[in-house]
Amino acid sequence: MMRSTSVMLGALLPIVAVALMLKSLLVIQGVPDAFAEWVQSVSASKVAILLAMNVALLIVGCLIDGISAILLLAPMMLAVGTAIGVHPIQLGIIIVLNLEIGLLTPPIGMNLLIASRSFGTRVSDVAGSAVPFILLMLAVLVLVTFWPGLSLALIG
């Protein structure tokens, strides 16, 4: 057990290190602010920008693990979100929900792979069982995205 955990962490740490370096480079070069300005120039609609952010985060969540995605995308998403008036806590919840939904969907679906290996079943069986939960999470994502009071009620 300890060996498999060490191997898994050993594979993950270089990815995190590279993601941190890339994030630092992007921030130093001012990419998040330039990206926020570009997004605002393309669309002035807050709803359209939030929908585009959700779609992008869902796609990234399907392909990349959550830690790397947060390290790479959070600075850019924060710049865009604050520029259109989204509270940082609400934005953080939106990012985490999107990435978690992505972890439950193929092609990568890391949580599906872990569950299928843990229970000794096929990934397709686990994916079929996860569909109701994915739909519920998508509904919660829509509510959190377009009803800020839901995610900000406890800090208020």
3-state per-residue secondary structure call for the chain: CHHHHHHHHHHHHHHHHHHHHHHHHHHHCCHHHHHHHHHHHHCCCHHHHHHHHHHHHHHHHHHCCHHHHHHHHHHHHHHHHHHCCCCHHHHHHHHHHHHHHHHCCCCCCHHHHHHHHHHCCCHHHHHHHHHHHHHHHHHHHHHHHHCHHHHHHHHC
Structure confidence by residue, pLDDT tens digits, 49-92: 899 889 989 988 887 778 878 888 888 889 889 988 999 999 99
Task: Report the pLDDT value the prediction gives residue 39, as an integer from 0 to 100.
Answer: 75
Task: Report the pLDDT value the prediction gives residue 64, as an integer from 0 to 100.
Answer: 78
pTM of the model: 0.77
Task: Report the pLDDT value the prediction gives residue 8, as an integer from 0 to 100.
Answer: 65
